[in-house]
Amino acid sequence: MPTAPLSPALDRLYGAPLEDFVTLRAQLAAELKAAGEAAASKAIAAAPKPTRTAWALNQVSRRQPELPRALLRARDAAFTPTPGDADGLRQAMRAYRDKIADIVRAARDLMAEGGMELNAIQLRRMTETLQAACADEGGARTQLLGGTLVRDTEAEDPLALLAAGATAAPEKAGKKAGPAPAVDRKREQDRRDREERARSLAEARARVTELEGACRDALARMRTAQNEAHRAARELAHAKRELEQADARLAEARKKLVE
């Protein structure tokens, strides 16, 4: 368990803006050391900086703690279905996924407030981290509730397999059977397909962003060239007028000379 001075320091550290994490970590470690809390200072100095998605989930837990609590209740309900109650299982599965979606939306909004965009890969990582935290009765679940997650965790959504387990014979309902090899292979292939689609989407978005930037640069150059052309045209017209006036004065001077 964290020591008394360590708990509030960790709370400040993981509740701060992500860009301030490193600076604040050093500051808190120095403050604790100066206060004679060497162990707490060392623990703070070693506190890992969270990933961007873990940071966003932490902020949701801190600002809207009812969301992760509702998620854990929904997950527990989905994993303890009434044998033979297929409708109840489907409703529990839907509620579980809805609660995950609620947290992801809240995290996306928080990231947007800080000028950060949630891409497809981060979306998948965030969803899997929530699933893994729900399944972990110890550390990850505690970190989710306390807003101190530090990393993304890969996890498969086991709810896709619950329908079979929930409709099993009553005497087998309490046993936790692993997925059949064929199902396991299909899940692995599905996971790889999702990752490939997410990677392709992220690359496409990056390419679109790059092309949009190139278009903006080209448009700016074109406008600059147009402005310069207009300025040159005005200067040329002015020079022509001056030349005509000079020619007129010269003709007038020659006329007077002849007279």
Q: What is the model's pLDDT at position 30?
A: 96
Q: What is the model's pLDDT at position 4?
A: 66
List Cβ neighbours of 222 (8 Å cut-off, separation of 6 or more): none
Find the distance separating the first CA and the last CA of the chain, reported in whole Å: 114
Q: For residue 101, give Cα distances in angstroms to 70, 95, 125, 144.
A: 12, 10, 13, 15
Does pTM top 0.85 for this prediction? no
Q: What is the model's pLDDT at position 203?
A: 59
Q: For residue 114, give Cα distances in angstroms to 35, 50, 64, 126, 175.
A: 33, 16, 17, 17, 46
The span from the CA of 108 to the CA of 110, in Å, is 5
Q: What is the model's pLDDT at position 164?
A: 29
> How many Cβ atoms are within 10 Å of 146's Cβ, its own excluded?
17
Whether 87 and 69 have beta carbons less than 8 Å apart is answered as no
The residues spanned by each domain of the chain are: 1-49, 50-168, 189-259
- Tell me which DSSP letter residue 174 carries: T
Q: What is the model's pLDDT at position 184?
A: 65
Task: Read off the tokens for 23.
Answer: 């600076």
Q: Which of 114, 24, 106 is nearest to 57 (CA)?
A: 106
- Tell me which DSSP letter residue 65 carries: T
The span from the CA of 146 to the CA of 11, in Å, is 8
Q: What is the model's pLDDT at position 135?
A: 81
Q: What is the model's pLDDT at position 256?
A: 79
| pLDDT tens digits in sequence order for the chain, 259 residues long | 445 678 899 999 999 999 999 999 999 999 999 999 999 999 999 999 999 999 999 999 999 999 999 999 998 888 776 777 778 878 888 899 999 999 999 999 998 888 888 888 888 889 989 988 888 766 888 899 999 999 887 654 444 333 223 323 333 333 444 445 566 677 777 777 776 676 666 556 556 666 776 777 777 888 888 888 888 888 888 888 888 888 888 888 887 787 7
